[in-house]
C-alpha cells in the first residue's frame, strides 16, 4: 500500500496569499487509513485550499499509520536521504508516531484515530496528557472499560486537549453533539430511543415474510451492508456500544455489561468461524419468523431498537406500532429520539443515513475543525 503524504508544496499548503496573516497551522496524524481513514485523507486534500483561503487554516498532514506501518512526511531528512522521498514506511510505533506528529510543539497536533482498535484507544490518555488532541469514530474508548474512559477524561481535563467522537454514533449525523448541547444548556435527559444500526434497519425494513431472514442476511452481506462477519451486526454489540456512549455522554457511568442485549445469533452459532456461521444461517429463520408473526398479531412491525431510560439500557428486536416513527424510517436510516425536560411532549429527532465511510469521515473532519475553532480559527467565509 502506498499513501501520498502531502509534501510542503502540496494542495494542503495551497498557493500563498499575499498580504494576509500567516495561516494557523494544525499538525494532523491519521491512524487507520482504511475505508474511513482513506475517505478522510481525500476530504482533507479537497478542502485544504478553501480552508486556507477562507479560514487561514492550514491542516498539515504529518503522518499516517496502520497496524504495521507508519508513513512519516517529507520533513524527515534522514528518511529522505535514504529513500529519495518519504513515500516509504517504518514499522508502526504509535507513541513515536504521535511524538512525530506533535513535532516541536510549534502548533497544535490532532490525531484522527480511524481504527476500531482497543490498542489505539489505550493510547488516548497518554496523547491527551501530552496536549495532543484526538478525534475519532472508534467506539472502543467511549464504550470500553469505564476506568480507562475516566483516565482519558482526566487526562484531557488536566491538559486542556480535546477529544471528540461524533462519528461513533450515527456516523455523520449530529447525535453526540446534539446531546452535549442539550445538557450543556441545562436540559435534562429523560430517555433515548434509537435505531442505531443501518444494517439492522435495512434487514427489518425488508423482513416482511416474503423471504426467509437468512436470505436477507445473505443479500445484505453480498451487498457489503454487513460487517465481514454478520454476527458483528446481529449480536447487537455494536448498537450496545453506541448506547453506552450516549449514556456516558449524559453522565451515566454505564458499561456494556449494564446493557440488556437481545442478540439475534443463536447460542450454537456464537462461536466458530465466519464460514461456519454463513453455512448455518438458516438457523435464524424459525425464531425470526415467530417474532414476525407475534408482531403482526399485535398489529405492529419488527424493528431493532436501543433504549435508555434512567439507568436502564436495552438493545434488541421489538414490535413497534405501525404509526411509530421507527416504522416509517427510510431503508437504512438511523433514528435517534431524545426525550428531555424541554423536548418532553415531542421528542427531538435526529435521522438520516447512519453509516458509510464518506459521512463518517466528514464527522471526524468536522471534529477536527471543532478543535481548530476552539483555538480561534474562524469557521465561516464572512
Ligand X SMILES: NC(=O)c1ccc[n+]([C@@H]2O[C@H](COP(=O)([O-])OP(=O)(O)OC[C@H]3O[C@@H](n4cnc5c(N)ncnc54)[C@H](OP(=O)(O)O)[C@@H]3O)[C@@H](O)[C@H]2O)c1
Please give the residue ranges that form the binding site for ligand X (CB under 6 A).
31-37, 65-68, 92, 114-117, 119-120, 137-139, 167, 171, 355-357, 360
CA 19 to chain centroid: 40
Closest-CA residue to 348 (of 185, 135, 139, 168): 185
Q: Are 135 and 112 in contact (CB under 8 A)?
A: yes
* Distant-in-sequence, close-in-space partners of 334: CB < 8 Å, separation ≥ 6: 170, 171, 173, 175, 194, 195, 196, 197, 198, 201, 350, 351, 352, 353, 354, 355
> Which residue, 67 or 255, has its beta carbon nearer to ligand X?
67
Grid cell for residue 287: 425464531
Could you tell me the smallest distance in angstroms from the CB atom of residue 337 to ligand X? Answer: 20
> What's the grid cell of residue 366?
468536522
In terms of phi and psi (left: phi > 0; alpha: psi -120 to 50; beta: otherwise), the region of 299 is: left
Which residue has the closest beta carbon to ligand X?
A: 34
The residue (of 43 and 80) whose beta carbon lies closer to ligand X is 43
Torsion of CA 329, 116, 101, 15, to 10 degrees: -30
Closest CB to ligand X among 40 and 55? 40
* Cβ-based nearer residue to ligand X, 87 or 339: 87
Residue 70 CB, nearest approach to ligand X (Å): 8
Q: Which is nearer to ligand X, 36 or 350 (CB)?
A: 36
Q: Which residues are the active-site residues?
A: 242
Query: Alpha helix (H) ranges present in the chain?
Result: 35-55, 77-83, 94-102, 118-121, 124-129, 140-143, 146-159, 176-184, 198-206, 213-222, 231-234, 237-249, 274-279, 285-297, 357-374
Q: Which is nearer to ligand X, 173 or 291 (CB)?
A: 173
DSSP 291-312: HHHHHHHTT-EEEEEEEEETTE
Amino acid at each position: 500500500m502506498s499513501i501520498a503524504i502531502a509534501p510542503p508544496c502540496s494542495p494542503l499548503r495551497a498557493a500563498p496569499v499575499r498580504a494576509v496573516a500567516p495561516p494557523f497551522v494544525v499538525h494532523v496524524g491519521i491512524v487507520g487509513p482504511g475505508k474511513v481513514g482513506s475517505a478522510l485523507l481525500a476530504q482533507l486534500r479537497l478542502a485544504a485550499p478553501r480552508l486556507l483561503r477562507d479560514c487561514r487554516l492550514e491542516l498539515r498532514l504529518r503522518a499516517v499509520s496502520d497496524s504495521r506501518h507508519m508513513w512519516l512526511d517529507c520533513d524527515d531528512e534522514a528518511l529522505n536521504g535514504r529513500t529519495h522521498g518519504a513515500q516509504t514506511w517504518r514499522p508502526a510505533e504509535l507513541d513515536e508516531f504521535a511524538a512525530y506528529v506533535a513535532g516541536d510543539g510549534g502548533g497544535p497536533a490532532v490525531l484522527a484515530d480511524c481504527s476500531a482498535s482497543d490498542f489505539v484507544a489505550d493510547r488516548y490518555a497518554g496523547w491527551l496528557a501530552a496536549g495532543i488532541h484526538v478525534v475519532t469514530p472508534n467506539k472502543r474508548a467511549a464504550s470500553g472499560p469505564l476506568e480507562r474512559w475516566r483516565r482519558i477524561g482526566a487526562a484531557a481535563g488536566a491538559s486542556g486537549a480535546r477529544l471528540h467522537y461524533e462519528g461513533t454514533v450515527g456516523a455523520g449525523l449530529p447525535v453526540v453533539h446534539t446531546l452535549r448541547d442539550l445538557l450543556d444548556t441545562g436540559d435534562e435527559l429523560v430517555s433515548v430511543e434509537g435505531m442505531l444500526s443501518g444494517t439492522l434497519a435495512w434487514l427489518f425494513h425488508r423482513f416482511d415474510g416474503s423471504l426467509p431472514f437468512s436470505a436477507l442476511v445473505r443479500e445484505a452481506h453480498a451487498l457489503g451492508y454487513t460487517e465481514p462477519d454478520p454476527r458483528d451486526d446481529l449480536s447487537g454489540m455494536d448498537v450496545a456500544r453506541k448506547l453506552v456512549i450516549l449514556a456516558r455522554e449524559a453522565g451515566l457511568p454505564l458499561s456494556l455489561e449494564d446493557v440488556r442485549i437481545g442478540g439475534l445469533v443463536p447460542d450454537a452459532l456464537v462461536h466458530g468461524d465466519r464460514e461456519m456461521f454463513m453455512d448455518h444461517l438458516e438457523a435464524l429463520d424459525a425464531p425470526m419468523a415467530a417474532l414476525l408473526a407475534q408482531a403482526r398479531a399485535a398489529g405492529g412491525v419488527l424493528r431493532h431498537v436501543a433504549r435508555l431510560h434512567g439507568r436502564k439500557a436495552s438493545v434488541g428486536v421489538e414490535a413497534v406500532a405501525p404509526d411509530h416513527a421507527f416504522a416509517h424510517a427510510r431503508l437504512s436510516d438511523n433514528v435517534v429520539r431524545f426525550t428531555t425536560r424541554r423536548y418532553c411532549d415531542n421528542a427531538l429527532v435526529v435521522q438520516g443515513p447512519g453509516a458509510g465511510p464518506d459521512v463518517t469521515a466528514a464527522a471526524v473532519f468536522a471534529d477536527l475543525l471543532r478543535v481548530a475553532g476552539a483555538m480561534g480559527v474562524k469557521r465561516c467565509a464572512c
